[in-house]
Amino acid sequence: MTTDPAILQRAKSWLDGNFDENTKTQVREMMANNPAELTDAFYRDLEFGTGGLRGIMGAGTNRMNKYTVGMATQGLANYLKKMFPEIDPIRMAISYDSRNNSKQFAHIVAEVLSANGFKVFIFDDLRPTPELSFSIRHLHCQSGVMLTASHNPKEYNGYKAYWNDGAQMISPHDVNVIKEVQKITSIDDVKWKGIEKNITVIGEEIDELYLAEVMKLSLSPEVIQRQKDLKIVYTPLHGCGRKLVPEILKRYGFTNVTMVKEQAVADGNFPTVRSPNPEEPDAMQLALKKAREINAELVMATDPDADRVGIALKNKKGEYMLMNGNQTAVLLFYYMLKRWQEKGKLTGSQFIVKTIVTTELLSDIANKFSVQYYDCLTGFKFIADVIRCNEKDKQYIVGGEESFGYLIGDFVRDKDAVSACAIIAEAAAWMADRGKSLFDLLLEIFQEFDFYKEHLISITKKGKSGAEEIQQMMVNYRTQPPQQINHSNVVLIKDYLTLKEKNLATGKEIAIDLPVSNVLQFFLEDGSKISVRPSGTEPKIKYYFGVKEKMQINDKFEAIDNKLTEKINDIISSMNLQ
């Protein structure tokens, strides 16, 4: 394989520059023995996207390493100086998860920021993403950085940038930070030499404040006292949930929590799983094995930075079923609104938030309790934005998205698996107090509303031609929208690129009050919903399917579940996606 001369020149510049010897050795090794890896490592700069950095670790301009992290941090610092000229010192909070190099990268971020004259607060050890969000708000910081690649495989690391409300950045800040980062073209542009007096180490004192806020979310403490020995299995999947999740369950009053020992060790190699992602059934297998051994009522798993949670429940046959993100959201939202209603806390000024690709059952539940609901674009930063826009005159209860992220209460402004685990366990205790389970609650909800079932498929189209094909697919859906899907008429189309919602029966169009996004949604006469969205970070186009069916009696669950699975497969086939 012949290496592109431009790529070779970029690589050679790292041999001539002020890079450490270990990095230069890695570059020489690639130049001598691995031209394909050299190309991937140097063919471009690692993109600082709207959520920050994420990439494979190693030497190179397209890799996560101390130099790309330092350059991104200098760009962020330059932007913050422009935005907060009257604040001196600008305050920053930093945290990191269990991934390889996360701690090292976090300290590089601290050094660069302190060298820029910032007041830096860095945790003494790994901490969850939601606690970083909380600390930004509590310490009155202007920004914050979390070092994590969330649920990605072990080769990856990442860098999430936050704004002063504790939420990840949205427009215009996300785009403007990217512009500042792009101006940093050399490691010599970075202020590397940290100023020790500008750095403060934080730890348990923040834990206590954060956990105290999570304690305030509890709606059924008296029930937990009666059901305190409820059998719970929890796994942190080698991540930073290992400390705070068991601790909050203990403080809530649960006395029978079993942690999966093999996965309780913080390890960035994630030795017991292929991917530390609670959405993946494989990641849950050790927890399910332990649950079977002790006959647990509830199984919970959090990802490495403890912002997302997956659960498993026993069905009517006593078999453990993995809940998808929509089902867990339904249980959480219903429990929260039901208990708020029972306690007389619903006054008409409360609201919930979900993303546009999340189950419509959540809006049905909100309507039942006369609670306002908001739809927002995919990404928790948009849920946080809805909270920010309404916090002066309305009260936020809960928000969530189908990808296993939930937020209860507004003292954090990102996904929070710590508080979600606490409330999921409390909901299980609440049902146990009635002699039932969370699975029974799901059946009751399906009987009251409808049996909703959702499914996601991702189609990968690699390379330049793949990106062009995905773009053309979206153009075709817009210029030649389907009139029928799976023998059901398309009655409504929502286009978030043009921000128009069109009723096909009347021809009437109304405006969509959301930011522009390349997403299309088709609503069918039979109540089905299909959402199409190109991924912003991967060479994929994603299809979200939502179907529903009446369920009068709960012993029909399995039959209706199979029927809806078949219906989703028929929709996929009718759209020529197989």
For a pLDDT cut of 90, what percent of the chain falls above it? Answer: 93
Q: Residue 503, CB half-sphere, CA atoms under 13 Å: how many?
A: 7
According to the model, what pLDDT value does residue 443 have?
Answer: 96
pTM: 0.96
Q: For residue 222, how many other CB atoms are within 10 A of its CB? A: 10
Examine the pLDDT at 1 and tell me if it is beyond 70.
Answer: no
Question: Sign of torsion, CA 414 417 422 425?
Answer: positive
pLDDT (tens digit per residue) in 504-535:
999 999 999 999 999 999 999 999 999 999 98
Task: Identify whether the C-beta of residue 350 lies closer than 8 Å to the C-beta of residue 339.
Answer: no
Residue 536: the pLDDT is 67
* Confidence at residue 466, expressed as pLDDT on a 0 to 100 scale: 81
What integer pLDDT is reported at residue 467 of this predicted model?
Answer: 82
Give the mean pLDDT of 129-138.
98
Please provide the distance, in angstroms rounded to a whole number, between the alpha carbons at the two ends of the chain: 34
Binning pLDDT at 50, 70 and 90, where does residue 537 land? low
The three-class DSSP label of residue 538 is: coil
The one catalytic residue among 95, 102, 143, 150: 150
CB 224 within 8 A of CB 249: no
pLDDT at 462 over 90: no
Question: How confident is the model at residue 100, as a pLDDT?
Answer: 97
Query: What average pLDDT score do residues 361-381 get?
Result: 97
Nearest-5° angle of CA 135, CA 136, CA 138? 60
d(CA 134, CA 95): 11
Question: Does residue 3 surpass a pLDDT of 90?
Answer: no
Is the pLDDT confidence value at 463 over 90?
Answer: no
For residue 357, count CB atoms less than 10 angstroms from its CB and return exposed for 0-12, middle for 13-18, buried for 19 or more. buried
Task: Dig out the tokens for 264 from the structure.
Answer: 């309780």
Name the pLDDT band for 246 (thresholds 50, 70, 90): very high
- Residue 130, preceding bond cis, omega within 30 degrees? no
User: Is 98 annotated in the active site?
Assistant: no
Residue 578 scores a pLDDT above 90: no
Q: Quick: pLDDT tens for 555-568.
A: 789 999 999 999 99
Which residue type, as a one-letter code, is found at position 575?
M
Closest C-alpha among 188, 193, 135 to residue 166: 135
* Mean pLDDT of the region 287-316: 98
- pLDDT value, residue 157: 96
Q: How far is CA 449 from the centre of its chain?
A: 27
The whole-number average pLDDT for the span 204-227 is 98
| pLDDT reported for residue 42 | 94
Write down all domains in the chain, each with its CATH number in brackets.
44-202 (3.40.120.10), 214-448 (3.40.120.10), 451-574 (3.30.310)
Mean per-residue pLDDT, 458-481: 90
CB-based burial of residue 33 (10 Å sphere; 0-12 exposed, 13-18 middle, 19+ buried)?
exposed
Residue 254, classified by CB atoms within 10 Å of its CB into exposed (0-12), middle (13-18) or buried (19+), is buried
* pLDDT value of position 48: 85
Residue with tokens 């996606």, as numbered in its chain: 577
Q: Is the separation of the CB atoms in 206 and 138 below 8 Å?
A: yes
- What is the average pLDDT across 221-226? 98
CA neighbor of 410 nearest in space, from 430, 422, 394 = 394
Average pLDDT, the chain: 96
- What digits encode the pLDDT tens for the residues 427-449? 999 999 999 999 999 999 999 99
> 257-281 pLDDT, tens per residue?
999 999 999 999 999 999 999 999 9
| pLDDT for residue 535 | 80
CA-CA distances (angstroms) from residue 17 to 34, 74, 537?
21, 18, 30
**Whether residue 330 has pLDDT greater than 80:** yes
- Amino acid of residue 271: P
Q: Dihedral of CA 348/349/350/355: which sign?
A: positive
Spatial separation of the C-alpha atoms in residues 532 and 475, rounded to whole Å: 12
Token representation of residue 542: 């994603």
Cβ atoms within 10 Å of 117's Cβ, excluding its own: 14
pLDDT at res. 87: 98
Percentage of the chain surpassing pLDDT 70?
A: 99
Q: Looking at residue 432, what is its pLDDT?
A: 98
pLDDT over 80 (residue 50): no
